[in-house]
Amino acid sequence: MKNNHISNLRKWAMLVAAMILQISCQQDDSFSPAADSAIINLSVSAANSGTTMDNDDTASAIKSLCILQFNADGNSFGTLRHVGMGMETAPNSGKYSATLLQSVDNNDKYKLVILANFPDGDYGIFYRMGGKSYAEVQQACLSAELSGESNVLEFTAAQPFPMFGIAKDGAPQIITETMNLGTVSLVRAVARVDIGIGTKNADNNTWNKGGVPFAMTQVQIWKDGKQYAYMPVENNFSSSAGALAINSPSPVGGTETKIYGSAYITGTTYCSEKIYLPEADLLWGDVYDDNHSSRLAIIVGGKYNSSDAETFYRVDFNYDEGSKAKMDILRNHVYRFTIKSVKDAGYATAELAYNSKPKGLDFSAEIEPWVSNEPTSVPSIQGYYLTYEGFNGENVRWTYGNLSTQKIPKKKSYWGTNVYLPFNYNNFYKEGNSIYAPDMPGGQNGRLYTTVEETLNYEGTFPNLMVSGDDIVDESGNDKVQWKTGTTLTAFDLCRDLEENGYDDWRLPRLSELAFIYVNQESLKALRGFTPLSGTYWCGSEFQEGTSDEQRKKSESAWAVDFTGATTAGYASHHKKAETLKIRCVRQQQDNPSLKKK
């Protein structure tokens, strides 16, 4: 009896072991590596970049990873056999190891799916799906459903983009006791849409509005998917030489209108790296056809030609207005739309624009794979720009005192009343030169000013202004300096000595230019790497302290603008030149042959 009892226990143990081998979707640490398990190693790269990524960049970070081990059915996915959790072998290396089931012979092959950044790292859903097909697993792990117009799809550094990949181009693998899968390329689960007005800049993520008379106030996505698929449909992707390609969309059903307001739009000019869409089959026919009101589309809202009324335009996913070349929405691609011109007011409501034939604007579009090493919105070596009533410089109304408001004018080439004298914006480094001392070669520097109104009457902001990325400090590291130290023009010299972004023709801004920076500072703040202005800043425009010729030629005071005072932010005031204030330098954006450019 005793031997029979032992024999029965052994049989029961063997049956349990077989069951564990048959469906072992459980945490790796729930069993010890033995003859039936294998330690595999792999590297991961975000979005077909070929480089490992594991950092705090939302678009390429990898915070968690698992491997789904499917029992290969010929060259197709069979059923889910095991889930292996990826463990980093070194911090921030992009290198992982995981425990999988080892093949029992050369006919025991597996296809391996890699998932990264599953919400909250909760991969428990897969542990309950042993024996399920790829299609069943794919449908079971769709994203949570989004609903409500304000519920836009967003990702953060804490919860970056979910990613998907397959090992060894999806070829069935014999899993050996210790093996290396090499680098597995991952793709994001959603697509990205950028849209801007005017001309797309070289960084691909910002636009210069130029002369297009339109201020973007909102972007709506009509018929946007409520969910996205963490795993694409089995037949909708392929892989070759380690590069994973998405061939067709994997729709999940259900749509919603999502609205991206002014918080998502930079300077009423572009919305970039903010709109993410699930995959979608757009049911294409013609741009305006029977499916027109059933198809996903962009609705752009804004103000045409300085109108106070908001107007709306429809932009379809084709390469330009009226083009026969159409697009579907594929995960891990970037769709960039450029509104080249706006000819007239659009429709009165977004709904009317969506349901009606597109009108009122011309656009072009491009689509490309969304790789992790593409240029981002970090400004290039070209620096930080303000374009008068255009790119980052739409605002020209300035409140410079208690309820005192005036429009900041453009640069004036000439100044004066009865006579017109050349006004050189760079060459004004002789203190106090005015009509009473007209000895400056190449043009005058203006005059001394008693009031802000007088200043803006004689000078204006250079219309294409480049702003230095940070405050200037002197040789001792002081960020506040005197306008003038003895006979040395300290503030002027610090800007003239600045070499930044490949240029050495920096200068102190005019009062009008400092005001132009102030009223558009939010657009500058939105650019990565730009240090916001804080405190009171010197400008090169001098204050006229009296009426005598000597007082007009020289002054002991100069104008400044307060950027962050509790009750004086934006105000202009004059200060003694011996006071210490901050400095931010500017230069003329377009090249001037007479200026040295490195």
**Percentage of the residues of the chain whose pLDDT score is greater than 70:** 80
442 assigned to some structural domain: yes
- 159-173, 256-270, 522-536, range with the lowest pLDDT: 522-536
Q: Give residue-wise pLDDT tens across range 340-372.
A: 999 999 999 999 999 999 999 999 998 888 876
Count how many Cα atoms sit within 13 Å of the Cα of residue 505 in the half-sphere of its side chain: 18
Report whether pLDDT(158) > 80: yes
If asked whether residues 99 and 220 sit together in one domain, one would say no
Cα gap 384→378, rounded to integer Å: 10
| Domain at 320, CATH number | 2.60.40.2630
Structure confidence at residue 150 (pLDDT): 62
pLDDT of residue 31: 31
pLDDT reading at 126 higher than 80: yes
> Is-contact 151 230, C-beta < 8 A?
no
pLDDT over 90 percentage in the chain: 47
What is the average per-residue pLDDT within 12-18?
38
Is residue 240, in this structure, part of any structural domain at all? no
- Range from 77-81, 164-168, 401-405, 549-553 carrying the lowest mean pLDDT: 549-553
Res. 446: pLDDT tops 50: yes
Nearest CA among 135, 138, 154 for reference residue 146? 154
**Final residue of a structural domain among 344, 369, 394:** 369
What is the per-residue pLDDT for 418? 53
- DSSP conformation class of 18: H
Same domain? For 393 and 316 the reply is no
Of 541, 470, 550, the closest CA to residue 509 belongs to 541
Quote the distance between the C-alpha of residue 461 and its chain's center: 28
pLDDT one-digit tens code per residue, 547-592: 777 777 778 899 999 999 999 999 999 999 999 999 999 988 654 3
What pLDDT score was predicted for residue 34? 38
Q: Do 517 and 533 reside in the same domain of the chain?
A: yes
Q: Is the pLDDT of residue 399 over 80?
A: yes
Within this chain, do residues 392 and 532 fall inside the same structural domain, yes or no?
yes
Residues 481 and 458 placed together within one structural domain of the fold: yes
Same domain, 18 and 143: yes
User: Quick one: 150 and 261 in the same domain?
Assistant: no
pLDDT tens track for 83-108: 999 988 877 677 888 999 999 999 99
**What integer pLDDT is reported at residue 28 of this predicted model?**
38
Q: Report the CATH number at residue 61.
A: 2.60.40.2580
Model confidence pLDDT, tens digit, residues 311-341? 999 999 988 766 667 889 999 999 999 999 9
pLDDT band at 161 (very low <50, low <70, confident <90, very high): very high
User: The domain containing residue 497 runs over which residues?
Assistant: 384-588
pTM over 0.95: no
Find the mean pLDDT for residues 195-210. 90
57 pLDDT band, cuts 50/70/90, is: low
One domain, residues 212 and 329? yes
Calpha distance 185→45 (Å, rounded): 5
Asked if residue 505 has pLDDT above 70, the reply is: yes
Q: Which residues contact 150 (CB under 8 A, 6 or more apart)?
A: 259
Q: How confident is the model at residue 420 (pLDDT cuts 50, 70, 90)?
A: low
376 falls within a domain? no
Q: What span, in angstroms and rounded, lies between the C-alpha atoms of 167 and 45?
A: 12
Q: What is the pLDDT of residue 528?
A: 63
User: Among residues 346, 369, 392, which one ends one of the domains?
Assistant: 369
Please indicate, yes or no, whether residues 217 and 320 belong to a single structural domain of this protein.
yes
The pLDDT tens digits of the residues spanning 185-200 come to: 889 999 999 999 999 9
pLDDT in tens, 137-146: 999 999 988 8
The mean of the pLDDT values for the chain is: 82
Answer yes or no: is 246 within a domain. no
- The verdict on 461 and 420 lying in the same domain is yes
pLDDT at 422 (0 to 100): 67
pLDDT at 224: 92
Query: Are residue 434 and residue 296 in the same domain, yes or no?
Result: no
Q: Which residues pair with 423 in a beta bridge?
A: 444
What φ, ψ does residue 573 adopt, rounded to 5°? Answer: -150, 160
- Name the nearest CA neighbour of 48 among 231, 188, 170, 235: 188
Which residue, 369, 398, 427, sits at the end of a domain?
369
| pLDDT of 382 | 47
Residue identified by tokens 């453009």 is: 410
Is 243 within the bounds of a domain? no
Nearest 10 degrees: CA dihedral of 296, 300, 301, 307?
-150
The count of structural domains within the chain is 3
Instruction: For residue 33, tell me if it sits in a domain.
Output: yes
Provide the 3-class DSSP secondary structure of residue 45.
strand
Residues 169 and 197 both lie in one domain = no
Contact call for residues 13 and 7 (beta carbons, < 8 A): no
Query: What DSSP character marks residue 410?
Result: B
Residue 242 is assigned to a structural domain of this protein = no
- CA nearest neighbour of 24 among 85, 75, 105, 73: 85
Across 8-12, 43-47, 117-121, 511-515, the highest mean pLDDT is recorded for 511-515
What pLDDT score does 322 carry? 62
**Residue 594, domain member (yes or no):** no
